Structure formats: C-alpha cells, structure tokens
C-alpha cells in the first residue's frame, strides 16, 4: 500500500469513528401499557413501540366518538338521528357496509336501525319505564335496514323517523381503529382490549402468545365479576363477546336484557347467555356476536357456519335441578 493510500484509509477510518460518536444510540422498542375509560367502558392496550402512543390513541378515540356516539350531540350518528339525509364520514361508511352484510347474514337479527326500541326499553337515551305492546307496535314500522341507504357520501332515509344505534358494532370497530393506528406506527406486537372486545397480533412482552379470557356469564349488573370460563392463547385474532349477564334489569319478575330483537321489538329470552365470535375484523365479530344473541343457539350456529370468515363459542344455561348455574358450551366447526 502506498503512503497516499495509507493516508486515505486512515482518514476514512477516523471519519467513520467520528460519525459513530456523533450519531446517538437509536431508541429501542419496549412494551407500553395504556389504560383508561372510554365509550362507557374500560380500555387496556399493550404494544411494543419505541415511544408511548397514548396521546395518539386518545386522539383516535375522540375522533371515533365524533362519528359513532349517540351521546355526542355533534357526532355523525346524532346528526343523522336529528335530521334527514346527512353527510357521513369514512368511519360511518365502514360501519354501515359491515352492518348491511351482517344484517343479510342474520336475516335481520342484527339491525342498526333498532335505536327507537333500545331507547323504549331504557337501554339508550331514555329512562326505563313499563313498556306496552302498543308502544312496541308503534315503533316497529320505523325499524329496518331497508329504510336507509348509503348514496355516495350521504345516508338517505326513506323513513325520516329512522334512528341509528351503532352500539352493537362500534366497540369492536374502535378496536380495529386503534389496531390500525398501532400498525401505522410500526407496532408488530400488540393487544387492544376495549370493554372485552379484542384485537391481538404478534406476541406479548414474554415472547409468548397473548392470553385472552372468555368471561363466565354470571348475572352481574355491577360488572365487577370476572370469572373466566376459558382462555385462548393466540398470536393473531379479532374477538368480540356479547351477553345478557351484565346489562339488564327486572321489570317485576321479568328480566329485560339489553339485546333487543329488531324483528319483534322485545328483549330476547332464551338459554344463550353469551356468544364469543372470532372474525376477520373486530367490528364484524362484534356485530355477529350480537346477532348470535338475538338468534339463539341453533340459528346462531347456522349463521356462523355459513360465514367462512368467522367462528363462535356459545355458552348456554343448562337446566339442572341440582345446579342452577350449570352451563353448556357449543362451538362452531371452525373454532
């Protein structure tokens, strides 16, 4: 090597050394846990990231509330319920398309135009009161997905009295929204849990599959009982559960659950206590789980078996003279 080459090599080595000293250490990804209260329920989000994303998550929650909340008077849904044709946003469009699909799959058991009936039975914007058949009959003509239609960026009402309640699909959709936010920020490992609806991907902080519990359906209006019926270990899943063991009240001796059958106008009454559905999105899983609760065991299984994207885990009350809390588990073939 000539003296000139030696000097050039030495200079390059010195330059590399200087650059390495100047460039700061790159931040390393670590697991973060964000918790809080949103949409009337809790959220618990775990994810691996180089930075804490809680502020971005809360901003996403606020934007979602501005679209889907019945309790926000400025939301897209509130504007629709207050008037006639309304301009809608992308969030609403995604919800609407899934709602139409699940309405078709469930033969009308899932229907976002059920809002007047939900309110009548005291599970929406109105207080609880004794409900008569005449009241139910007066509202049923204003319920039905065929009474609304998405036309470009407008939702058209064929019946101006139609009201929308996305409560049976929005919580699952919010999980998808946060999961998408995490994905955009480079997170490959995360678990989003919003009120029991879950989207999970990758692995937990121990490098193992995420463990997701299915709650044992014990009547508990306080929402404080969380006995686990089963645990799923998974790396990739969108899961939602619907049940009548928490949001209910008694009208005399009659138990009134929050799951309203949009076809009859009445709270459902059957042995199916909870339905957990796995699907390609948490939004779809949420809607299907509600449809299962409306349909009951046999029709729910038929619906899920007809949907190649989904699977279900159903828990039924099992009449037993010796044990009034006996349960029976039924799963679809793809579970």
The CATH number for 275's domain is 3.10.520.10
pLDDT at 299: 98
99 within a domain of the structure (yes/no): yes
How far is it, in rounded angstroms, from Cα 246 to Cα 74?
Answer: 29
Q: Does position 76 have pLDDT exceeding 70, yes or no?
A: yes
How far is it, in rounded angstroms, from Cα 67 to Cα 74?
Answer: 8
44 pairs with which residues across the strands? 35, 193
pLDDT at 116: 95
What is the average pLDDT score of the chain? Answer: 88
Q: Does position 140 have pLDDT exceeding 90, yes or no?
A: yes
Q: Is 203:119 a contact under the CB 8 Å cutoff?
A: no
Element containing residue 276 per DSSP (H, E)? strand 272-278
pLDDT at 19: 47
25 within a domain of the structure (yes/no): no
Full-model pTM: 0.88
189 within a domain of the structure (yes/no): yes
Confidence of residue 218 (pLDDT cuts 50, 70, 90): confident
12 within a domain of the structure (yes/no): no
How far is it, in rounded angstroms, from Cα 67 to Cα 100?
Answer: 18
Domain count, the chain: 1
pLDDT at 10: 56
Print burial letters for 232-259: b (CB count within 10 Å at least 16), e (below 16). Answer: beeeebbbbbbbbbbebeeeeeeebbbb
* Higher pLDDT pick, 69 / 16: 69
11 within a domain of the structure (yes/no): no
* Domain interval for residue 43: 30-331
98 within a domain of the structure (yes/no): yes
Q: Does position 166 have pLDDT exceeding 60, yes or no?
A: yes
How far is it, in rounded angstroms, from Cα 195 to Cα 293?
Answer: 17
143 within a domain of the structure (yes/no): yes
3-state secondary structure of 166: coil
pLDDT at 141: 97
3-state secondary structure of 256: strand
19 within a domain of the structure (yes/no): no
């Amino acid at each position: 090597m000539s003296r000139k080459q030696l000097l050039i090599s030495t200079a390059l080595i010195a330059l590399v050394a200087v650059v390495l000293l100047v460039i700061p250490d790159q931040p390393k990804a670590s697991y973060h846990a964000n918790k809080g209260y949103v949409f009337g329920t809790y959220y618990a989000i775990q994810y691996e990231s180089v930075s804490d994303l809680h502020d971005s998550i809360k901003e996403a929650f606020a934007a979602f509330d501005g679209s889907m909340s019945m309790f926000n008077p400025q939301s897209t849904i509130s504007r629709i319920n207050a008037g006639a044709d309304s301009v809608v946003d992308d969030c609403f469009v995604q919800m609407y398309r899934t709602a139409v699909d699940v309405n078709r799959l469930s033969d009308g058991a899932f229907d976002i135009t059920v809002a007047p009936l939900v309110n009548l039975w005291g599970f929406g914007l109105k207080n609880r009161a004794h409900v008569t058949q005449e009241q139910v009959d007066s509202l049923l003509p204003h319920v039905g997905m065929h009474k609304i239609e998405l036309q470009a960026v407008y939702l058209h009402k064929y019946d101006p009295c139609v009201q929308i309640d996305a409560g049976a699909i929005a919580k699952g959709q919010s999980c998808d929204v946060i999961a998408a936010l995490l994905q955009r920020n480079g997170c490959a490992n995360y678990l989003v849990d919003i009120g029991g609806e879950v989207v999970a991907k990758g692995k937990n902080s121990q490098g193992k599959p995420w463990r997701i519990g299915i709650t044992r359906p014990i009547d508990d209006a306080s929402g404080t009982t969380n006995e686990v019926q089963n645990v799923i270990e998974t790396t990739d899943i969108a899961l939602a559960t619907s049940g009548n063991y928490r949001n209910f009240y008694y009208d005399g001796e009659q138990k009134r659950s929050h799951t309203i059958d949009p076809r009859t106008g009445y709270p459902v009454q059957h042995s199916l206590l909870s339905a957990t559905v796995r699907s390609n999105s948490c939004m779809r899983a949420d809607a299907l789980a509600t449809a299962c609760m409306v349909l009951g065991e046999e029709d729910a299984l038929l619906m899920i078996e007809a949907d190649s994207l989904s699977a279900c885990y159903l828990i039924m009350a099992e009449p037993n003279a010796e044990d009034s809390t006996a349960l029976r588990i039924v799963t679809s073939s793809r579970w």
